[in-house]
Amino acid sequence: MQAVATARAAKPPADALDAVLASLSARFGDRFTTSAAAREQHSSTLTWLDRQPPDAVVFPETTEEVSEIVRLCALHGAPVIPFGAGSSFEGHVNAPFGGVCVSTEQMTDIVAVNVEDLDAIVQPGVTRKALNAHLRDTGLFFPIDPGADASIGGMVATRASGTNAVRYGTMKDAVLGLTVVLASGEIARTGGRARKSSAGYDLTRLIAGSEGTLGIVTEVTLRLHGQPEAVAAGICAFPSVRAACEATIAAIQSGLPVARIELLDAAQVAACNAYSKLSLREVPTLFVEFHGSDASVREQSERFGEIAADVGGGPFDWATRAEDRSRLWQARHDAMWAAGALRPGAKPVPTDVCVPISRLADCVEETLADIADSGLQAPIVGHVGDGNFHCLPLVRTDDPAEVAACRRFVGRLVERALRLGGTTTGEHGVGQAKMAYLEAEHGAAAVEAMRAIKRALDPQNIMNPGKIVIP
């Protein structure tokens, strides 16, 4: 890499910021605010990190309006912080250098659904649930399911995934094309509606996961899937986390097309029992789902039952009724709130890592031992088919000692994942909270390449500064 002077962000001079705010106020009227409540609400709320509110929030409706806003900010060197549903965990929407939060809350058009091509074009503020409600009668669905009703734009930005990723992939697989407002305010279109392309650098996947640091996503072309004819889902208890992981590996290796396979440790099962009024055995448990024809989901469920029995687990208690399935997955999605209810006054501080699946049992067992040693309460849930799991430390965030202990725990968790051949984050992203680990994961040359790309595409460092890399 060539040597380039470090371009750290700084707060813009007060008069430059005033000029930006005055122009935006005049241009956007009641779609612009500097109220303390709105600014607070548009900074990170789901982490232990201190909130760092922006100076203002603006609510554009079109790509062209976003372009206008970014041009203005670029002219005055003001930071631009994109905001979707605010459901990210790692401080992505904090504004450490102030600036303008660009909320996509009013960009909720579903521009097109192309049933024959299994794709849709949406504005970034559309949430995944709103999209699926819209798709219900088309026979199609959008499978990426991170739990929260996240916005599609935010999901692109963090390269989100969730429970269905083992079968349907992550946002990197779901995004066919993007409209992006670059740091200059220029509007770029990447990818398109073709299912695949080898036409030049893959800007679509460079932007996906860039957390708003290279541009703001203003339109997304998504790949959809046919609603399965039949769905079977169920619960399977195991004598240990290791046995649950072994069953998962065997299922995937044998080519069973698992749609979802989720691990809950004993602590999380207990939390779900209490919160969601279930009566599961409080042992390591897999929630499993299959998609296919009536005959194939039956066959798959039976085969999974045999695989589970081979490692001492089971029985695999499955059903195809929609009500039974919904109750199960609602409980899974409420895991964070269920965990939170275990310790009143504390906040669940979700963090995630991902390791090769063969090391998952090691990683979870070591983490359980760490939790026991450190006296933390931190249930575990995992997208075990991907080797991805979440810890939910329950932290009194007003107690600096607890926050510091939690930080150290996360540091050990990341170090463990890297030692086992894994990654700092499987799906939550880097944000502010995981920047410190990036070089340990990727090495100096790769991180310097990321910095070079950031400098090339955002020379003033105005796009969501202070996230992922310091250019």
Backbone angles phi, psi at 80, to 5 degrees: -125, 120
Using the minimum distance from each CB to a second copy, give the nearer residue, 368 or 468: 468
CB 313, min distance to a second copy, A: 18
**Non-local CB neighbours of 436 within 8 Å, separated by 6+ positions:** none
In whole angstroms, how far apart are CA 31 and each of 103, 280, 379?
A: 10, 48, 41
In whole angstroms, how far apart are CA 335 and each of 159, 160, 262, 385?
A: 21, 18, 11, 18
CB 79, CB 57: distance < 8 Å = no
Using the minimum distance from each CB to a second copy, give the nearer residue, 83 or 275: 83
CB 449, min distance to a second copy, A: 6
Parallel/antiparallel/unpaired status of strands 285-292 and 258-264:
antiparallel
CA distance between the termini of the chain:
13
Using the minimum distance from each CB to a second copy, give the nearer residue, 115 or 274: 115
Burial of 246 (0-12, 13-18, 19+ CB in 10 A): buried
In whole angstroms, how far apart are CA 107 and each of 161, 220, 355, 468?
A: 22, 11, 36, 25
CB 378, min distance to a second copy, A: 20
CB 280, min distance to a second copy, A: 27
DSSP code per residue over 154-187: HHHHHT---TTHHHH--HHHHEEEEEEE-TTS-E
Using the minimum distance from each CB to a second copy, give the nearer residue, 33 or 87: 87
Using the minimum distance from each CB to a second copy, give the nearer residue, 278 or 450: 450
Using the minimum distance from each CB to a second copy, give the nearer residue, 49 or 338: 49
CB 56, min distance to a second copy, A: 26
DSSP code per residue over 208-275: TTSTTSS-EEEEEEEE-EEPPSEEEEEEEE-SSHHHHHHHHHHHHHTT--EEEEEEE-HHHHHHHHHH
Using the minimum distance from each CB to a second copy, give the nearer residue, 372 or 436: 436
Under DSSP, the state recorded for 188 is E
Cis peptide before 228 (omega within 30 of 0): no
Using the minimum distance from each CB to a second copy, give the nearer residue, 169 or 407: 169
Under DSSP, the state recorded for 371 is H
Using the minimum distance from each CB to a second copy, give the nearer residue, 266 or 297: 297
Using the minimum distance from each CB to a second copy, give the nearer residue, 106 or 138: 138
CB 193, min distance to a second copy, A: 5
Amino acid identity, residue 331? A
CB 30, min distance to a second copy, A: 31
Would you call 24 helix, strand, or coil by DSSP? Answer: helix
CB 164, min distance to a second copy, A: 12
Using the minimum distance from each CB to a second copy, give the nearer residue, 30 or 116: 116
CB 354, min distance to a second copy, A: 4
CB 191, min distance to a second copy, A: 8
CB 111, min distance to a second copy, A: 14
Amino acid identity, residue 311? V
Burial of 84 (0-12, 13-18, 19+ CB in 10 A): buried
Rounded Cα distance, 56 and 102, in Å: 9
User: Which residues pair with residue 56 across a beta bridge?
Assistant: 100
Would you call 342 helix, strand, or coil by DSSP? Answer: coil
